[in-house]
């Protein structure tokens, strides 16, 4: 190889580095750079692309939060969501209680940053939502509304009434709890309780909701508050009808369609129609056993923001890739 060719390559490299420095560091436009170097802006664009491809220019992100940007963006675009936060792989490799805490911490940061005094915030019962409430340190003054009743058998700290109260104390806004069980024995009992003054006041707030934080449950043992609250014959009957997922006591099939079952008439929970009208629904869904349920809920169109772990994100992308093109 001749010395002239080595010098030519060195010259080209220095020129490319100079152009890249002006564009990426100094923030100058391609047109400005083209005029300075006496070349077309299209050639500037080609040089910048080549600089990235050859490794002359490398872009690195040092995020202060443990988020996998690539997975987050891939899931967001695949499901056409407003926002997706995927815990990076290192953070996702944790036992369930610790993973729940990390998911909750992300949700707490997001809620604290996006909530305003104009918001009315709804919460469904879930351990992950409780973990979020534990991590919230500040909120603007806004009402906090309970979306569904209390699951029987839970200790006091895990009940949604207390979670709503904790967030209301932090924000200084009004608390709207539901002092009643999630699942009731029959339609008549449900209607009686819904008309009780305190509960009726909370149900009236549903039409004002602007944000909600919910957890995605799978229709299987220990993965859904509603599933665990029903008798085995009721669970089996609902499963035979195709139930796959649940949020705030509302059920969805594998394709994301809202299911109409008799369950709606004996639960104290926000109606599906009002849940679907909330402008911002932040869903917490994590661990591989819930992946298909998370997929179903995302396909429903109810959720605008998802917070999940890396393993679930990868499964979601596989499910999307397996589906036939519309």
Measured N-to-C along each axis, helices 310-322 and 69-79 cross at an angle, to the nearest 10 degrees, of 40
- Residues of the chain with pLDDT below 70 are 1-9, 60-64, 151-160, 325-326
Q: Where are the alpha helices (DSSP H) in the chain?
A: 3-20, 30-37, 41-53, 69-79, 89-92, 96-114, 127-135, 160-171, 187-194, 197-205, 225-229, 232-240, 272-276, 291-300, 310-322
pLDDT at residue 157 in the model:
45
Alpha carbon distance 298, 295 (integer Å): 5
pLDDT one-digit tens code per residue, 135-178? 999 999 999 999 998 765 544 445 668 889 999 999 999 999 99
pLDDT at residue 5 in the model:
41
CB 291 within 8 A of CB 67: no
pLDDT at residue 235 in the model:
87
Alpha carbon distance 146, 35 (integer Å): 61
| 3-class state of residue 71 by DSSP | helix
pLDDT at residue 156 in the model:
44
Alpha carbon distance 37, 54 (integer Å): 21
pLDDT one-digit tens code per residue, 266-293? 888 999 999 999 999 999 999 999 999 9
CB 259 within 8 A of CB 252: yes
| 3-class state of residue 83 by DSSP | strand
pLDDT at residue 61 in the model:
62
Alpha carbon distance 195, 204 (integer Å): 11
Our measurement of the distance from residue 195's CA atom to the centroid of its chain's CA atoms, rounded to an integer in Å, reads 33
pLDDT at residue 272 in the model:
92
Q: What is the pTM of this model?
A: 0.80
What is each CA distance from 130 to 77, 182, 282, 310, in whole angstroms?
29, 17, 14, 22
């Amino acid at each position: 190889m001749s010395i002239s060719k080595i010098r030519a390559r060195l010259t080209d490299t220095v020129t490319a580095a100079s152009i890249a420095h002006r564009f990426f560091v100094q923030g100058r436009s391609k047109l400005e750079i083209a005029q300075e170097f006496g070349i077309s802006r299209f050639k500037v664009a080609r040089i910048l692309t080549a600089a990235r491809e050859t490794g002359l220019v490398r872009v690195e992100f040092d995020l202060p939060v443990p988020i996998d940007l690539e997975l987050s963006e891939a899931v967001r675009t695949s499901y056409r969501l407003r926002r997706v936060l995927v815990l990076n792989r290192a953070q996702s490799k944790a036992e369930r209680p610790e993973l729940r805490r990390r998911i909750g911490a992300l949700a707490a940061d997001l809620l604290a940053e996006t909530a305003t005094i104009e918001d009315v915030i709804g919460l469904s019962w879930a351990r992950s939502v409780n973990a979020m409430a534990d991590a919230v340190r500040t909120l603007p003054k806004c009402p906090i509304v309970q979306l569904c009743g209390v699951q029987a058998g839970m200790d006091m700290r895990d009940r949604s009434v207390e979670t709503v109260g904790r967030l209301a104390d932090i924000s200084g806004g009004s608390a709207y709890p539901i002092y009643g069980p999630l699942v009731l024995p029959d339609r008549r009992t449900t209607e009686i309780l819904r008309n009780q003054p305190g509960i009726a006041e909370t149900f009236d707030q549903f039409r004002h909701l602007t944000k909600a934080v919910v957890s995605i449950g799978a229709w299987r043992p220990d993965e859904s508050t509603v599933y665990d609250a029903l008798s085995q014959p009721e669970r089996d009957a609902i499963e035979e009808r195709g139930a796959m997922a649940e949020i705030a006591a509302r059920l969805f099939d594998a394709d994301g369609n809202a299911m109409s079952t008799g369950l709606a008439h004996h639960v104290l929970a926000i109606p599906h129609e009002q849940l679907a009208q909330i402008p911002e629904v932040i869903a917490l869904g994590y661990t591989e056993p819930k992946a298909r349920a998370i997929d179903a809920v995302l396909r429903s169109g109810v959720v605008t923001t998802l917070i999940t772990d890396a393993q679930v994100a990868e499964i979601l992308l596989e499910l999307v890739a397996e589906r036939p093109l519309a």
